[in-house]
Structure 1
């Protein structure tokens, strides 16, 4: 009997690890902090970084550490061909980061300690964010360099919009908004996957006011894209974009991006507009909006041509659906 137990216990452990890895694969992947495992050595630019021996599985090119509003290299991934060209073009990395700095205030950058340059062709994504620490106090942002320069740097304002959308996730899913220690079973508020939303959090307010009454219909609609389309067609006046109907997490990120993009405060005639008005009730979000619009010269007068962002609802992925079951790693 003891021998059987000795065999069964290790097998169960292996199976449990395998189950976790399967459930967290691809878009659900929980990424551990790579700085804990890297061997840092000075590179040719004087930054601390690895020698490029690490191989990424999702198009990773170069990983940076964020300190204040500056980035320093942690490691170059082992790449070839076009990705090697991207890796060597550090000026483009810095140009992308400069745009991130224009959009995200320094005090908000404290929520993010890593920045990844990657090739988005592998995942079909233009950007993503993911928590580094399980308590949601520290985040990593990734930007796909190939999409950042598609048609020219930040063509049509697509990159800027993507950065705003992605940081919208950090803003609404960090440790001031969610309690990662509370499980779904013990959560009395909305549970987006990363943790239990605090009662007065942005996403809990959005969910309780504008999702709760249609939640059972939404859950049925997550079965396939055809059902998602029917759900959106029925409730489209509730959403700033089709992509926002994917789940409350994408909804609030799209609402934040639209809140920032719109020149005028909406009247609140639709539920979609009422969601935007919720953001005007939060000083932190209003200050963030003002910072972005000032730094990108969006506070224009008349028809003067200034910095370009996609018109509300005109983002390239605005008329698509994301993965409704996606929680941990939000890739777009």
Structure 2
């Protein structure tokens, strides 16, 4: 979320050479645990050592157990990336912020956590499904951008984590059926699977995208058309970036829902999208958890933590790639 593009990193497993490479070139690739791909067994402390070269800035991969992390592997790196790799205290500081934001019950959907250098891809964070059934996910955070201007400067890192986990929250196996193809799907199909009728993203799509879907499909052809589409329908979106596709829309709605101090009145479609989340008790509880743990300001309280004001994060006034569904790098 930023001048940093928010695009997601899938991992391409090249089994013939037992190497793990990260790429967005093939939307059908599914991530495997590097130890599963290579056949290596981690040491007793969970560290399998330095075993692979990353293609897009990978530094250190961790296993998530409960709300704690243990090293799976260090990637072969040099120079500045080696400095980042050795600075484990920063890895833990980033993870501590993830733990503050994501309740332990929700963390069960995430079994891997990657520290990487975002300069290679221009990204600050990503999530990608590890298992085809969407029950297990990896989150990556770019360490260089996490500390740009100081740790979590202007709340950008916290917002990144909220947005990225918004994808996990709305695209996991409780929300989509990965076994149903697009041709057989009777509800919205975001790319990872067919949305269940009462899923968050299907409700968003059926109420606020379905009537303009044909126009949106035409607008995906180039950025000029995207811009015209957004200008025509901007009151429907919490940010310009949200108009990229419904997947980015719902992640942005979730982040805005969390960031806004007061419940909106529902005067615009963008506000009505936020109110959809207020209708779900579990999402309100998630919001309350985040705001309590980050000690965000309530009416009359002093500021103890900062998040970007709605619509002010660095990538808010840009477009993502509308054609990418299973590739959500940001």
- What TM-score, normalized to structure 1? 0.90
- TM-aligned CA distance change 1:172 to 1:226, over 3 Å: same
The structure with the greater share of residues assigned to helix is 1
Would the aligned equivalents of 2:123 and 2:329 in 1 still touch at CA under 8 Å?
A: yes
- TM-aligned CA distance change 1:39 to 1:75, over 3 Å: farther
Would the aligned equivalents of 2:9 and 2:126 in 1 still touch at CA under 8 Å?
A: no
Larger Rg over CA atoms? 1
Deviations 1:71-96 (A, max 9, x none): 00001001111111100100000000
> How far off its partner does 1:27 sit?
7.1
**Higher deviation after alignment, 58-67 or 297-306:** 297-306
* Aligned positions, number: 330
- TM-aligned CA distance change 1:293 to 1:228, over 3 Å: same
> How far off its partner does 1:25 sit?
1.3
Alignment gaps of 5+ in structure 1: none
Distance in structure 2 (CA, Å) of the matches to 1:286 and 1:2: 26
Deviations 1:21-67 (A, max 9, x none): 9996167753333231246566798745445xx01111100000000
Would the aligned equivalents of 1:300 and 1:306 in 2 still touch at CA under 8 Å?
A: no
- TM-aligned CA distance change 1:172 to 1:13, over 3 Å: closer
What secondary structure does 1:13 align onto? Answer: strand
Would the aligned equivalents of 2:6 and 2:320 in 1 still touch at CA under 8 Å?
A: no
Aligned-residue RMSD, C-alpha: 8.7
Alignment gaps of 5+ in structure 2: none
Would the aligned equivalents of 2:129 and 2:138 in 1 still touch at CA under 8 Å?
A: yes
- What TM-score, normalized to structure 2? 0.90
Deviations 1:244-291 (A, max 9, x none): 000000000000000000000000000000000000011111110000
Deviations 1:173-198 (A, max 9, x none): 00000000000000000000000000
Distance in structure 1 (CA, Å) of the matches to 2:22 and 2:32: 16
> How far off its partner does 1:328 sit?
1.3
Would the aligned equivalents of 1:39 and 1:50 in 2 still touch at CA under 8 Å?
A: no
- TM-aligned CA distance change 1:326 to 1:2, over 3 Å: closer
